């Protein structure tokens, strides 16, 4: 595994979150196999979805903040503003 550079300080937190989601997902499978209530299963599935969605969001913002910013750092301020607006609007995805 490659070492994490300064650009990707969020990756360990993303891995931690995904491992937590993996644990929740395994729990969901066990719950279904043991015929637990649908409410309990739905709650666990919701936790899995939220954990994965947050991991994805963190990864995308990390990319926008570091990789994309590095690639566009030499742009004139007007063009740079468009990149900043893209980052802002991406919050609504």
> What's the pLDDT band for 66 if we cut at 50, 70, 90?
confident
- More confident call, 62 vs 7: 62
Q: Which residues contact 59 (CB under 8 A, 6 or more apart)?
A: 10, 11, 14
Q: What is the mean pLDDT of the chain?
A: 83
User: Which domains does the chain possess?
Assistant: 10-90 (1.20.58.1000)
Cα 25 from Cα 28, distance rounded (Å):
5
pTM (global) more than 0.75 = no
Q: What is the pLDDT of residue 6?
A: 60
Does the pLDDT value for residue 57 go beyond 70? Answer: yes
Does the pLDDT value for residue 59 go beyond 70? Answer: yes
């Amino acid at each position: 595994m490659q070492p994490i550079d300064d650009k990707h300080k969020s990756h360990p937190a993303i891995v931690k979150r995904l491992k937590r989601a993996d644990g929740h997902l395994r729990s969901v499978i066990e719950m279904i196999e043991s015929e637990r209530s649908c409410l309990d299963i739905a709650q666990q599935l919701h936790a899995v979805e939220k954990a994965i969605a947050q991991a994805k969001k963190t990864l995308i913002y990390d990319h926008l903040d570091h990789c994309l910013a590095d690639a566009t750092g030499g742009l004139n301020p007007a063009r740079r503003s468009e990149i900043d607006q893209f980052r802002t609007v991406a919050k609504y995805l």
